[in-house]
Every structure is written in structure tokens, then in C-alpha cells.
Amino acid sequence: MSLRGPKEKKERALGTRLGLKGDRAMSPKSAMVRKPYKPGVHGPRGRAKALSEFGLQLREKNKFKIMYGINEHNLRQIFKKASAEKGALGAKMLEILEVRLDNVVFQLGWTPSRAAARQLVIHGHIFVNKKKVKSPSFEVRKGDIITINPNSAEIGAVTSRKEVLAKYDAPSWLRLDAAKMEGEMLSQPVDINAPFEINLLVDSFSK
């Protein structure tokens, strides 16, 4: 499944909300609410086919790639890195993805989606420890301070989130100062709520 194309159609095809459309994903306008069935000519009358083991693994892999905006090569590199570390392999893969800078920016509530966070990073709007970082895959570490580029503080993408942030609770492993638009990584990610079966993904690479 390509990473490009209509985001909500991808969610319908996979049968899972992946938060690709940000705030819209939880609204009545969401395609998952209006059309809670897979896209295609058969519409709501179509019958879901039982997936083979390979099919199940492929589906979970696609969820993983689409949710975090990574490709097959990225995913293999993450698997390789996680394999070299101690601990449960699946949990390590999730941990590596969660500490990506684009994901941290999203988890701080500064953007409505990971794709929007990725754009903020790429365009130089994000600082880590007072230095501009333009790589979405940059690995944030415990103690790192994430801020908005001072020259970007008044852009619409930033100012439009201030009202949302006033009521937003960041994950426990992050500290958010909404007024200053400042975040800090307090610990490694915990209590990750992933909408996919990580063990199926690990199995697909372990053969």
C-alpha cells in the first residue's frame, strides 16, 4: 500500500483509525464514521475475506508505515536497530518510532497529525536544545528540550494550536509548557497505545 493518496481511504481499507487527518478523524465528518466499511465497488455489502497469515502481517505492516509516515527501508532499519538492543523486540520498535522528532512534536499537541508535524520539522520550525533540526527521524533523548523556532512563533500552524493546547494533556513521558510552546522528554515512551498487532509485524521480519 502506497504512503500517498487519500488518507481516510487508507484508514477504511485497513479498518483502523490511524489519526491521519488529525482532529477531523474523531469528528462526524470522518470517513470512518460516515462509511464504516472498506472502499470499493461492493460498498457496505461487500464481505471481508479471511486473511492468510501473510495477509495479516502485511496489513499490520501497512498500518505501521502509514501511521508513522515511513517506508519499507525505514522500517527494516528500525527492525535492525531494535534487534540489537535488549528487551522485547516489538516494544523496542515502537519506542524507536515514538522518539522520532516528528512524532514527539505531534505528541506534544503542536500539530493535529504526524504529517503536519513532519512538515514543521522539515521547514525548520522546530528547535531541539536551541538548535534547528530539520530531520523528522531525529531521535529525541531524555532531557532534550523541544521548542518552536523563535522566527516561526506567529505562523498560522503554530498560533492555531494554542487554544487546543490549553486543554491538552501530553503523554506522561513528555512535559509540555503550553504557554511557552516548550516540551521536554522526561523518560523513554511508556503506555504506547498502538492500533496494530506489533507481534505480527515482528513475525514478518523474523522469517
List of domains in the chain? 1-49 (1.10.1050.10), 100-185 (3.10.290.10)
Whether the pLDDT of residue 17 is over 50: the answer is: yes
The pLDDT tens digits for 155-191 are 988 898 988 998 999 999 999 999 999 999 999 999 8
Q: Which of 153, 173, 20 is nearest to 99 (CA)?
A: 173
List all residues 6 or more positions away from 113 whose beta carbon is below 8 Å from its beta carbon: 19, 20, 21, 22, 106
pLDDT reading at 113 higher than 50: yes
pTM as predicted: 0.76
Q: Report the C-alpha gap between 207 and 204 in whole angstroms.
A: 6
- The pLDDT of 76-102, averaged and rounded, is 93
* Cβ 39 vs Cβ 13: under 8 Å: yes
Q: How far apart are CA 120 and CA 136, in angstroms?
A: 9
